[in-house]
Structure 1
């Protein structure tokens, strides 16, 4: 496993990080034993960066992660969780100071820890950015000064939300961003923002390198927000890889982790065998000829996207 610096935080994170949403039975029912075995497989494979949220499974992911980490030396992993988003289906978002402090306290209890390495404002496309700048971030900064949280980040789907905050706060206030579905084989739009983020000293975390199922043999779930054109283009790319005897997930992970400017790419599963397979993919030769062929297939839908959030925070739609 390779490790990279996470922006200016001083943290060295695994290029492949563990995304904890699956631990909350978000995609299918999983057992506690499966959850514990998966986390242990990730740690044994060198994945030292773990990301979760109280919104995953209505706190179940944090609870299970806490149980899985019992007895694991605290300095052997870097733990990130979030505040602000508590139930996307219910539209339960609260970025107030009181909710932020309470959420962090409860997360630490569920996780069985006495500090959080990285606390992130979750899905800020659903937030009032004035509140984020004037209330949420100052609250987190106060908790950072107290040693309760070590570093502060923001997350979300639309790319425009990141400069909306970063351009309004002092350098070092926001130390990381977590973006998903924007650095993968079919959509590399996050890459265009990386020079800006580097200038700000902000670490980059990439999630959903398979586009929430777009770049898999199984394909997307029924709820997926992508268009038929995106889904068809990705299906063609998957079939091309399969014809060459390669699982497109391998190519997708190798591609995402190949970018030195991205500190960590998150993958999620509640199956320990899947996590071991993902780790093993990074040890295989990177077939750049196949990558070129796949990129050509995906060319007609390159950077076609989908967005969400409050109207003022949504990205322009391409495709």
Structure 2
């Protein structure tokens, strides 16, 4: 599988990254065996970039990912995790569940927002313990939307020091909005933005600021949420967009996209997966999986060619603005 360098770090990330929220029991339970099989399938497909967070399943995602990677050569893969939510034991833990936060796990812990310098260090130490690793490669500020000033003045400098000391190789921010990562790109020396849902075939808000700022500074983006909460896998009434039922105009746009791609024999989800690679600042696309079958399907979609005529017709139909970058019609041969 092809790989790209993340900003100016020298760190390589594969074009597909494995998002480990699903194996943290996102929305529904996943067995340990299925979680391990999903990571193994990603490895077998050549995926060497894995993303997790304490938030995902109250640490379950990190534990399962670490177990699945155990025994693999440590220099052969890249792991990112996140800071900003500390997990504290719940005195009444285990009696309820965490479904209010989207995860089908017992509520053994609760999350505490903490973007202090000490919080960053404590979070990373706890993550390493759950992962069973001596280091992570990328540390990301996780959803600091309501804590922007503390993240900028306390958490970011702590991450910068860790990078300077060689504890982590790359630092950045992970979020599903554009304003804050654009500010970080302007005001700090982050290496990467993990942006979910804002640069997709359905919407390209990131073209206004985030992508130009990243490109101008030689920084990179990892794009998540390329299917817009599932809408671009199977648009129909009741489909979700931003984790809620899709409004009718959004659903109609998705159906219009589908009609165009399928006229060319290209599934909508295939075009959605390919789309972000058209921009030079995009180093990797992050997709979640909870099973080996889901991983293999995603890899198959990446290998499915998307003719230039698809992008041309999407522009002609007004579904892509003029000048929106699109991928090459034929994917180049993978590097060894």
**TM bucket normalised to smaller:** 0.7 to 0.9
Aligned residue for 1:216? 233
Does 2:17 align with 1:17?
yes
1:198 maps to 215
Distance 2:290 2:251 in 1: 25
- Pair 1:77 & 2:77 matched: yes
CA distance in 2, matches of 1:119, 1:244: 40
Instruction: Return the offset for 1:76.
Output: 1.0
**Superimposed CA distance per residue, residues 40-75 of structure 1 (whole angstroms, 9 cap, x where no aligned partner):** 111111111111111011111111101111111111
Contact 1:157–1:180 at 8 Å: present in 2 too? yes
Higher relative contact order (Cα pairs below 8 Å, separated by 6+ residues): 1
After superposing the two structures, state which structure 1 stretch, 243-252 or 87-96, moved more. Answer: 87-96
Residue ranges of structure 2 left out of the alignment (5+ in a row): 88-99, 102-109, 323-336
When normalised by structure 1's length, the TM-score is 0.85
Give CA deviations for 1:104-124 in whole Å, capped at 9, x if unaligned: 001001111111100000012
Cα offset, 1:245, TM superposition: 4.9
Q: Aligned residue for 2:144?
A: 124
Scaled by the length of structure 2, the TM-score of the pair is: 0.81
Alpha-carbon offset, residue 30 of structure 1: 0.8
Alignment CA distance shift 1:184-1:298 (3 Å): farther
Whether contact under 8 Å (1:18, 1:49) holds in the other structure is yes
Please name the residue that 1:178 is paired with.
194
Question: Following the alignment from structure 1 to structure 2, what is the Cα–Cα distance between the partners of residues 91 and 36?
Answer: 25
Cα distance 1:289–1:93, how it changes in 2: closer, same or farther (>3 A)? same
- Partner in structure 2 of residue 162 of structure 1: 181
Q: How does 1:22-171 map to 2 (within 5 A)?
A: 22-85=22-85, 89=101, 92-127=112-147, 129-169=148-188
Residue aligning to 2:284? 264
Question: For residue 207 of structure 1, what is the aligned residue in structure 2?
Answer: 224
After superposition, give the CA deviation of every residue in 1:142-200 in whole Å (9 maximum; x if it has no partner): 3334433222111212211023223333xxx3111111112211112223432221222
Secondary structure at the aligned position of 1:198 is classed as helix
What value does the CA root-mean-square deviation take over the aligned residues?
A: 2.5
Q: Is the 8 A contact 1:6 1:203 kept in 2?
A: yes
Q: How many aligned residue pairs are there?
A: 298
Is the alpha carbon distance of 1:122 and 1:226 closer, same or farther for their aligned partners in structure 2, counting shifts above 3 Å? farther
- In structure 1, the residue matched to 2:330 is none
SS at match of 1:116: coil
